[in-house]
Structure 1
Amino acid sequence: MKWLKKQAELYPQKAFLNDFTFEQINQRVDKTARHLAPLVAKKTRVALLSENSVEMAVVLFALLGLSKEILLLNTHLTTYELTEQVNELEIDRVFNSDLLKEKMTDSISFSDILATKAEPVSLSVNFPDEKIAVIMNTSATTGKFKSVPITWGMISNHVKASQKMLGLYEDDNWLIILPMFHVSGLSIIMRSLYNATSATIFDKFDKNQLLEVVNSGKINMISLVPTILTRIADKLNGNNLRLILLGGEFIPQPLIQKCQELALPVYKTYGMTESFSQSVTFNILDFPDKTISVGRPLPGIKIEIRNPDLSGVGEIWLKSPMLMTAYLGQKPYGAAFETGDIGYLDRDGFLYLLNRRKDIIISGGENIYPKEIEDLVYSLPEIKECAVVAKTDAKWGQVPILFVSGQISKEKLENFLTEKLAKYKRPQTIIFMDELPKNASGKILRKELKA
C-alpha cells in the first residue's frame, strides 16, 4: 500500500480515519496482515462482509497489501444471496465483522483474524494498473448481478481527476455514511488516502449524529443521496461545508432549488460502479442556470452522444481510463462504454440526463420519460418519494404507473397531473406507499414496483 506508507511517513500524527492517525492505521494494517497471511496464503480472491467501520478499512488495506482481489459484499443481502455471489466467483474464504458473523457461518470474523497465529510478511507497495483491487457486484436493479473488477489503474486515475475537479484543502474531513462496500463509500476512503486528508466513518445513517458533526464544523465534506439530503437540508449549516456530493439516483429539481436558496454547496454528480464513482460533476452555486444538468466530465473523461434524434438526445457513452474494460467473465466492451442512459450535451459541455434507457415507457409509439413525470410530481411539497414505471397494456403496449409516498389526496394529485401532462403521459394508476423500496445506496428499486 504505497499511499498508506507514504502518508504515514509524511504525516504520521495527522488524523486519517476517525481519531486514528495515518501512522496508527499503518501499524494496525501491518499487524492485521501478519495474522491474515496464513489464512490467505493460497488464495487469489477473497470476500469481505462488514458494516462501515475503521476495522473494515484496516482489513481491506491489509488484504490489498497481501495482493488479494477482494469481493465487497452487500450487508443487506440474505445469506442465500451472499452465498450465491461468493460461489459465482469461486471464493472459499470470507472475512466479516463480528456483528455479521451469523450471516455466513463458514466465514472468519475480525476477532478470529487476530486470534490466528501471525507470520512474518512483506506487504506489496506498488501494483500494476491492470491489477484488480476490489470487485463490486452491480446493484442488480434488473436481472442477475454483474461483477465489476476495480483495478488499481481505475482507482489511481479517479482520485487524481477528482482532486483536480473538487480541489484539496489540508483540513478536509469527508464524512462517510454511504456503504463502504459500495463505490460511493470506498471512493472516499481512497481519495482521503491519496490526498492525505481525513475521513470520518459512520456505521449507519443517524440524522441527529450527522447534523451534530456537520454543524459543529468537525467535517466539511459529505456524500449523500437525495432521500437523505431531503430530510436534513434545512437543518444544515452551509457555512461549515465546502462540498456536498449528491448522486446515486435522479435528483428532484425542487430539492436542488431548495439547496440553492439555502446556499448549500451541492455538487451534483453522475457516475457508476463501472467508472469507480463519479464521472461528471459540478457545483450548483457556481452554475445556477445549469442545475437541471448533472455537470461536466472530470479530467480524462470523454462523453459521446450516439444515435441522437433531431433534438440531440441520444445514448450516453463514456471513454475514460477510470472505466473498467469488461465485466468479470465477459468480453471487453471496446473503446467506449455504453451507460444505458439517455441524454444530451449542451454547448458548454454540460451533460443532461433524461432517463435510463431501460426505464423509458413506449405507449402507442410515443416515448414517455419517467423522470419528466417524477420531476413534476416532486414539485408538489406534499410529496416525499415517487417513481414511474411501465405496465403492459393490451391497447397501448405500455402505460405509466405512478408510485408515490406523501401526504396528498389522490384526487388532488390526479387533477394536478391532468392539468400539467399530455393525456398519453398521465399515469393510468396511482399507488400510494409508506416508503418506496430502495437498495443499499439509496436508489429506488423500480423492479419491485408492480401494479
Structure 2
Amino acid sequence: MVVNWLKKQALENPHKLFLNELSFQEVDRRVTDLAGRIYPFVKAEDRVALYAHNSVDMALFFLALQALQIEVFMMNTRLTPEERAKKLKTLNIRVAFSDDDTFIPLGRVLAGDYDGQARCREEDAPEKIAVIMDTSATSGDYKSVPLRRKQFAAHVQASRQVLGVREEDNWLLVLPLYHIGGLAILMRSLYNGTRVTLMGKFDEEQILKGIEEGSLTMLSLVPTLLMRIVNRIRRHHLRVVLVSGEFIPKSLVETCLEKGIPIYKSYGMTETTSQCTTFCVAENPGKLDSVGLPLPGVTLRIVNPDGSGIGEVLVQSPLVMDGYLGQEPAGGFINTQDMGYVDEEGYLYILDRRKDILISGGENIYPQEIEQVLYAHPEISECAIVGMKDEKWGQVPVLFVVSSLEDEEIMDYLARKLARYKLPRKIVHLRWLPRNATGKILKKDLAELAYAD
C-alpha cells in the first residue's frame, strides 16, 4: 500500500513537496535507500518497534519499514522502562529502533551500509497488519490495536470524500506519530499527494507564522492545543481545522466561528483508524453540539438507550479494526464505550465516556455537561469532573480546576445553571491538569487525587 502510493506520487508529482522540504521523489529515494540499511536488522523479523519523537527521520523509518512489509509497533515515548519491557515481551518483539540509545539508534542505521538484498515490494495483502498502536489509556491498561492495510485504505478514501483535496493542501503534523491522529495525517497526505509540515513539538510562534503566511492550510489538533493559538490568529488561509481527541468546549467552537476559522468537529479513536464522524460547523451551526455525520461507509448504532434515547455508541465500518491483538475478533459493530445519541438527521452527539458517568442518588450525571458550563466562564482555563464514592449518594462529583476564582464564586456560578445534584461536592485547585501526549486529561490520575484531603 505505502510503496504503491509513494511510487505513484513520485512519478506523477516528482518535484512536489511532501514531507517538509522533501519532494515525493526525494522521499521515495530515501525510503528505498533506508529500507536497504534497515534490512540487515530486520530480515529475520515480522514485527519491530519504533520508539521515537516526531521527526522527518522517524517518518522515513516508518515508511521504509512499511515498504519491507514489517509490522510496526508505534511505542509511546512516555512509557516507563518497565512498561516498555512488558510491551515488547507481550508483543514478542526482539528488535526495536529509537531516536536515542534506548534501543537501536536511528543514527546507527542511517550511517550503515546499504544491503542490496532488500527489496521494497508491495503485494496485494489488505489483511496484513501494517501498524500496532496502543489506545490512549486515559484509564486502565493499554490495549494493542492492530490496524491493517485495508483499514488505512478505507480511512483515507472516506476522509477524502468528506474533506476533499486541493493542490495547495499542507497539513500541520504536530500530534505524535505513535498516536493515530498523527499517523493518519501522514497516510492521508501520502494517499492524496499533498504536503505535510511535520514538527517535533508544538511551537506556537512557528505555527502562527505558517498560518498567517498561508503555507499551512490544514490543522488537526486536540482542543487544548487549538486553545493555545486561536485568539492569536489574525489572518489565515486555513481550509480545514479538524478538532477531536477529547471533550471540545463549546466556547472554543464559537470563537472559531467568530474569527472565520473553518472548524470541523470530529470523533474517532485508534480502533476506528482515526475519525469516523465529522462536519464543518460553519455549514450547519445549528448542530454545534454534535460531533458530526458518519463518514461514507460508517454505520452507527445506539444500544441500551434510556428514555431520552441516550445509549452506548457502536460503530461498524471497513475502517474499524478487526479486534484487539490477542483477543477474539470484534465481529461487526464495536462498542466505543462512549454514551451518546443520534438525532433525526443522523448527527452523532457524545455525552461522555461510559466509565466517566456518575450515578448519584439514582441520577445520571454527565461530567461533560458540567465541564461545558465551566469552560464558558472566562476565568476558568481548565477543568475536569470525576466521581468520588459517597455512602449516601453512591457517587458525587469532584471538580478539578485551573482558575483564579474562589470556590464560592465557582459554586454560585454553577448553581445558577445546573440542578443541585450536579454540583461538585469538592473543588480542588491545580496549576495544571495532568494530560497524556495528545492533550487528553488523565481522569484516572485525578480520580486518585479526589480522595486526598
Q: Report the TM-score, using the length of structure 1 for normalisation.
A: 0.97
User: Aligned partners of 1:112, 1:335: CA distance in 2, in Å?
Assistant: 44
* Pairs within 5 Å for 1:35-184: 35-97=37-99, 100-101=100-101, 104=102, 107-120=103-116, 121-184=118-181
Secondary structure at the residue paired with 1:355?
strand
After TM superposition, give the deviation of residue 394 of structure 1 in Å.
Answer: 1.1
CA contact (8 A) 1:238 1:263 kept: no
1:429 to 412, 421, 426: 426
Q: 1:209 aligns with which of 203, 206, 226?
A: 206
Question: Is contact 1:133–1:149 with CA below 8 Å preserved after alignment?
Answer: yes
Name the aligned partner's letter for residue 114 of structure 2: A
Of the three residues 240, 246, 254, the one matched with 2:243 is 246
Tell me by how many angstroms 1:79 deviates: 2.2
Query: What amino acid is aligned across from residue 184 of structure 1 in structure 2?
Result: G
Q: Residue by residue, what CA displacement relative to the aligned partner does 1:209-244 show, whole Å, maximum 9, x if unpaired?
A: 110111111110011111111121122245410010
Deviation readout 1:135-161 (Å, 9 max, x if unpaired): 001111222110000100000000000
Name the counterpart of 1:29: 31
What SS does the corresponding residue of 1:204 show, helix, strand or coil? coil
1:283-432 alignment, distance < 5 Å: 283-432=280-429
- Kept in 1, the 8 Å contact 2:152–2:273? The answer is yes
CA contact (8 A) 2:223 2:246 kept: yes
Matches of 2:405 and 2:245 in 1, distance apart? 26
Q: Is the contact made by 1:127 and 1:152 (CA closer than 8 Å) also made in structure 2?
A: no
**Structure 1 residue identity aligned to 2:55:** S
Question: Retained in 2: the 8 A contact 1:70–1:135?
Answer: yes
Give 1:127 deviation, angstroms.
4.0
Measure the CA separation in 2 of the matches of 1:180 and 1:316.
27
Contact kept in structure 1, 2:88 and 2:94, CA below 8 Å: yes
What's the offset of the Cα at 1:118?
2.2
Q: Secondary structure at the match of 1:285?
A: helix
In 2, are the aligned partners of 1:137 and 1:145 still within 8 Å (CA)? yes
Q: Which residue of 2 aligns with 1:13?
A: 15
Please say if residues 2 and 126 of structure 1, whose CA atoms lie closer than 8 Å, have aligned partners that are also in contact: no
Instruction: Give how far 1:43 is off.
Output: 0.3
Aligned mates of 1:265, 1:11 — CA distance in 2: 28
In structure 2, C-alpha distance between the alignment counterparts of 1:25 and 1:14, rounded to whole Å: 11
Contact 1:238 1:264 in 2 (8 A): no
Change (3 A) 1:17 1:237: farther
**CA–CA separation in structure 1 for the residues paired with 2:181 and 2:403:** 28
Which residue of 1 is the match for residue 443 of structure 2? 446
1:4 aligns with 2:1: no
Report the Cα offset of residue 409 of structure 1.
1.7
SS of alignment partner, residue 268 of structure 2: strand
SS at match of 2:416: helix
Code of the aligned partner of 1:61: L
Offset at residue 371 of structure 1 (A): 0.6
Alignment check: 8 A CA contact 2:213 2:236 kept: no
1:240 is paired with a residue whose SS is coil
* TM-score normalised by L of structure 2: 0.97
- Aligned-pair CA distance for 1:418: 2.1
Greater shift after overlay, 53-62 or 125-134?
Answer: 125-134
Q: How far apart, CA to CA, are the structure 1 residues paired with 2:406 and 2:226?
A: 25
Q: Secondary structure at the match of 1:16?
A: strand
Contact 1:35 1:119 in 2 (8 A): yes
Per-residue deviation, 1:78:
2.2
| Cα distance in structure 1, aligned partners of 2:342 and 2:68 | 43
Indicate yes or no: 2:267 matched with 1:265. no
- Equivalent residue pairs, number: 445
Stretch deviating more after TM superposition (411-420 or 346-355): 411-420
Residue identity matched to 2:257: Q
Q: Please, which runs of 5 or more residues in structure 1 have no aligned partner?
A: none
Deviation at 1:398, TM superposition (A): 0.7
Q: 1:127 to 1:441 in 2, by over 3 A?
A: farther
Say if 1:127 and 1:82 are closer, same or farther in 2 by CA, change over 3 A: farther
1:116 aligned partner, one-letter code? G
Distance 2:234 2:45 in 1: 48
User: d(CA) in 1 for partners of 2:159 and 2:47?
Assistant: 28
Letter in 1 for 2:288: T
Report the equivalent of 1:274. Answer: 271
Amino acid at match of 2:237: N
Residue 77 of structure 1 and its aligned partner are, at CA, apart by 2.1
What CA distance in whole angstroms lies between the structure 1 residues aligned with 2:317 and 2:292?
Answer: 16
Q: For each residue in 1:347-396, what CA deviation from the matched residue of structure 2 results, as whole angstroms up to 9, or x when unmatched?
A: 11110111111100011111110011100111101111111000011111
Give, in angstroms, the shift of residue 329 of structure 1. Answer: 0.2
Q: Cα offset for 1:117?
A: 3.0
Segment drifting more, 408-417 vs 318-327: 408-417
